[in-house]
Structure 1
């Protein structure tokens, strides 16, 4: 039988990659970070895909900057979660604890995101040379006609803490995400139209690697970051109009005490919009399965064609498919019947190895959520009240 839940459950529990590990108890430890004090390690580890977060929670230094610097909420989510996936190549989820970035201060990040200034520009802006630490190229063009794009949009730091035999928690490693613009937006006048300049992928990668080397060099000059291992990754964010997120493209590790980057490793991940010509050219069979599903949904509502999907690939293998169905119901029982129908379609059209999530929404908000995890025979269905 399919499972129907009428209780408000936290999304994070049923989206976890495997069964929660509830055997551990809350653990109080001594932290050596900044000012000594007590911290709590949560007893629940909801998935091997996530890190336990040390408590009390400390917001990241750059928390207030990310919304302004990242183009879409899709990019924002993928930038954070993708960086955590990359971290797992270096920092074991069973061994390390997660903390939002605390080492690179907000003011420092703000300055790094600026352009580099000429001496004349420093005088004009009344900025001291010591603060001229922008990682984006100097603009020597005329007003409103930039000579070069802004490549670096945002810097995200994640800290990974480790507990020793004496119960002390210290910084064990750091990951840095560099969000790079695939499209540079600028205005010729303050109140004028916004212009776009597409940045070639090869140029973006080349400049991103240069920026990464400089970031690591600067980190090694910081007291707490002199010796810890570092992983740094490049994220190519999508355009502002995109309905799918960008993706990480490459990462490098830096050994303890070193400022030299090891060889760059390719990150073979990408999102596709279903349906789209790009998906048709790259993954025709997967798109066909989605279109058959979409067609059957439209048989339930013949005048409706708003089904869209966001497909996540690692290499050529489809890993997750998130489908959104915005529709208007005239009663709760109609919504329940539709959820039952769509659940059957999910089980019928998509292979067992694929994780599928379907969100059914209306103008009143979320109506139903259907989750079929990979290799599971029974889906989870939640009807919102």
Structure 2
């Protein structure tokens, strides 16, 4: 029987796709503060939304580089995919049943902005050294060393020509840290591992004399530069006391173009054992996000492409003037893991929303197989009207109609 829920609180459970038990079994443990090493009480929940989700430590501590990712990555879908994708890959190294998750606490905003900058050109470097020597503008040796931390190729953006941009594209966009903790024998939470995601561009966009240009970066070029950056990042991370002697997983993320409706994906992964500052072999990550309908989707995943088109045709039977269904498929090893469909419509009343949602639910039950996760978002004027969600393997979907 179809399940329809009408409250926002219900939507939270729908989105997690699980039904956790309710209890008062949260535990108080002692967590070491990073800088003072003093102990403070923290709460760790024994409730886990699902075996695939990490538990967190409360009170929740935001990242030490909070906000940097939104300033550096130009596409919201890339931001979301990088964060969730890094957690997903981390499960191979840090099992959710054994580890607690926490946002990165050791790579600070100032540190990352220095690393993500472009390295000074020879001329710029000479000028900076002269400023230090002459104590000009209160520019110090520390300021010079901070500029030398930049990991992107040398570029004087104020005076750069088109050729300068083409020869020295900005590869590196962001570095994301995630921490994994365990409760030790003394009932203390301690850091026992970390994951580092390194975001790299597939298209470098720049402006010269009022004109905008796009410089494509091949995957092979990106991989070569990304591996060099990863080695440098690991060496620097090992100089941070808390990260000096824990296992670290590193993953390279290839961004999509800023205008892309679907995100990029992680392309390679490696790990460094506790205390080691050198990277060994890289493993290819076979993940991709594919837009439907699209030429790429039709060529590579024709069955899914046709399914989305057929679904759109059936929607049109109900709403002849609708814009069209937009689909996104997430694949691992060329196997569909999740299909997200977005239906933009114009409604004139809650009755229309309910009626169409019931119709769409029927199409979901009729047309879509159950071996992958499915999410159907019904929207109007950029507002979510209703959601149909089904976990992989479930016979029935869950429906949520949002209150106005």
What TM-score do the two structures reach when normalised by structure 1? 0.95
Would the alpha carbon gap of residues 139 and 152 (structure 1) be closer, same or farther in structure 2, given more than 3 Å must change?
same
Equivalent in the alignment of 1:144: 161
In the TM superposition, what whole-angstrom CA distance separates every residue of 1:173-230 from its partner, at most 9, and x where no partner exists?
Answer: 11000010111111114xx233211101100011000000010011111211111110
- Once the 2 structures are TM-superposed, how far is the Cα of residue 364 of structure 1 from its aligned partner? 7.1
Describe how 1:186-201 pairs up with structure 2 within 5 A.
186-189=206-209, 192-201=210-219
- Does structure 1 conserve the Cα–Cα contact (< 8 Å) formed by 2:11 and 2:400? no
Equivalents in 2 of 1:102, 1:123: separation in Å?
35
Kindly indicate whether residue 391 of structure 2 is the aligned counterpart of residue 352 of structure 1. no
* Secondary structure class of the residue paired with 2:58: coil
Equivalents in 2 of 1:314, 1:164: separation in Å?
35
* Secondary structure class of the residue paired with 2:320: coil
Provide structure 1 residue ranges, at least 5 long, that are not aligned to the other structure: none
Would the alpha carbon gap of residues 179 and 327 (structure 1) be closer, same or farther in structure 2, given more than 3 Å must change?
same
Over aligned residue pairs, what C-alpha RMSD do you find? 1.8
- Once the 2 structures are TM-superposed, how far is the Cα of residue 287 of structure 1 from its aligned partner? 1.3
Equivalents in 2 of 1:108, 1:325: separation in Å?
42
Equivalents in 2 of 1:334, 1:26: separation in Å?
43
Kindly indicate whether residue 63 of structure 2 is the aligned counterpart of residue 60 of structure 1. yes
- Once the 2 structures are TM-superposed, how far is the Cα of residue 139 of structure 1 from its aligned partner? 2.5
Of 76-85 and 323-332, deviating more is 323-332
* Secondary structure class of the residue paired with 2:276: coil
Equivalent in the alignment of 1:245: 263
- Once the 2 structures are TM-superposed, how far is the Cα of residue 334 of structure 1 from its aligned partner? 1.3
Equivalents in 2 of 1:349, 1:24: separation in Å?
42
The one of 83, 98, 101 aligned to 1:98: 101
* Secondary structure class of the residue paired with 1:43: coil
- Once the 2 structures are TM-superposed, how far is the Cα of residue 119 of structure 1 from its aligned partner? 4.7
The alignment covers a number of residue pairs equal to 383
Equivalents in 1 of 2:330, 2:33: separation in Å?
37
Would the alpha carbon gap of residues 234 and 22 (structure 1) be closer, same or farther in structure 2, given more than 3 Å must change?
farther
Equivalents in 2 of 1:193, 1:30: separation in Å?
56
Provide structure 2 residue ranges, at least 5 long, that are not aligned to the other structure: 132-138
- Does structure 2 conserve the Cα–Cα contact (< 8 Å) formed by 1:23 and 1:43? no
In the TM superposition, what whole-angstrom CA distance separates every residue of 1:231-261 from its partner, at most 9, and x where no partner exists?
Answer: 0100001101100001000110000111122
In the TM superposition, what whole-angstrom CA distance separates every residue of 1:154-176 from its partner, at most 9, and x where no partner exists?
Answer: 01100111111210111111100
- Once the 2 structures are TM-superposed, how far is the Cα of residue 321 of structure 1 from its aligned partner? 0.7
